Structure 1
Amino acid sequence: MLTAVLRHVLLTRPCGLTFDIDGTLSPIAPTPEAARLFPGVASLLERLRPYARVAVVTGRGITSAAALVGVDEITYIGNHGLEWAEGLPEHHPIRLLPEAEAYRLPAQRLLALAEQYLTPALPCAQIEYKSIGGTIHYRRCPNPAQARQQILELLREPAQESGLLLTEGKMAVELRVPGLNKGQALQRFIEQYQLRSALFAGDDTTDLDGVETLIRLRQEGSCPAAVTIAVRHADTPPRLLERADLIVEGVAGMAALLEEMVTFLESEAGASSPGWQEKRA
Structure 2
Amino acid sequence: MEAILKDPSGAVIGLDFDGTLSPIVPDPASAKIHPAAPDVLAELGAHVGAVVIVTGRPVATALELGPGLTGVPGLVVLGHYGFERWEDGRVSAPPPPPGVPRAAAELPLLLDSLGLHDVSIEDKGRAVAVHTRRAPDPEGAFAALREPLAALAAKHGLVIEPGRMVLELRPPGMDKGHALGLFLAERDARSVMFVGDDLGDLAAFDAVRASGLPGVTVCSGSAEVTALAERADIVVDGPDGVVALLRELTTAFSRS
Give the TM-score normalised by structure 2.
0.91
**Matched residue, 1:275:** none
C-alpha deviation, 1:76, in angstroms: 0.6
Out of 224, 229, 248, the residue aligned to residue 235 of structure 1 is 224
Q: Name segments (4+ residues, structure 1) moved above 4 Å.
A: none
Point out where structure 2 has 5 or more consecutive residues left out of the alignment.
Answer: none
Q: Matched residues in 1 for 2:112 and 2:152: separation? A: 18
Taking the TM superposition and a 5 Å limit, the aligned residue runs for 1:15-26 are: 15-26=11-22
SS at match of 2:195: strand
1:160 corresponds to which of 154, 177, 180: 154
Given that residues 4 and 10 in structure 2 are in contact (C-alpha distance below 8 angstroms), is that contact kept between their aligned partners in structure 1?
A: no
SS at match of 1:210: helix
Measured against aligned partners, the alpha-carbon deviations of 1:179-207 in whole angstroms (never above 9, x if no partner) come to 21100010111112111111100010000
Aligned partner letter, 2:58: G
User: Equivalent of 1:191, from 185, 190, 210?
Assistant: 185
Give the C-alpha shift of residue 150 in structure 1: 4.1
CA distance in 2: counterparts of 1:230 and 1:204, whole angstroms: 9
Asked if 1:42 corresponds to 2:27, the answer is: no
- The code of the aligned residue for 1:208 comes to L
Report the secondary structure of 2:174's partner residue.
coil
8 Å contact from structure 1 (residues 241, 247) kept in 2: yes
CA distance in 2, matches of 1:19, 1:229: 9
Residue pairs, 1:219-234, within 5 angstroms? 224-234=213-223
Deviation at 1:227, TM superposition (A): 1.1
One-letter amino acid of the structure 2 residue matched with residue 78 of structure 1: G
Measure the CA separation in 2 of the matches of 1:65 and 1:256.
21
Deviations 1:227-257 (A, max 9, x none): 111111111232x222211111222111111
Alpha-carbon distance, 1:119 to partner: 6.2
Gapped runs of 5+ residues in structure 1?
Answer: 1-5, 219-223, 269-281
Q: Could you tell me how far apart the structure 2 residues matched to 1:10 and 1:107 are?
A: 43
Tell me which amino acid in the other structure corresponds to 1:77. Answer: L
Larger radius of gyration: 1
Amino acid at match of 1:104: P
Is 1:201 the counterpart of 2:195 in the alignment?
yes
Residue of structure 2 equivalent to 1:79: 80
The alignment's C-alpha RMSD in Å is 1.8
Tell me, yes or no, if the aligned pair for 1:25 and 1:251 is still in contact at 8 Å: yes
2:97 aligned partner: 104
What one-letter code is carried by the residue in structure 1 that aligns with 2:198? D
Identity %: 33
| TM superposition shift of 1:169 | 0.3
- Range 169-178 or range 248-257, more displaced: 248-257
> Match of 1:110, SS?
helix
Question: Superposed, which structure 2 residues align to 1:34-183 within 5 Å?
Answer: 34-52=30-48, 53-70=50-67, 71-72=69-70, 73-87=74-88, 92-96=89-93, 98=94, 101=95, 104-118=97-111, 121-183=115-177
Distance in structure 2 (CA, Å) of the matches to 1:156 and 1:109: 14
Write the distance in 2 (CA, Å) between the matches of 1:131 and 1:145: 26
Paired with 1:149 and 1:195, the residues of 2 have a C-alpha distance of 40
- Give how far 1:128 is off: 1.3
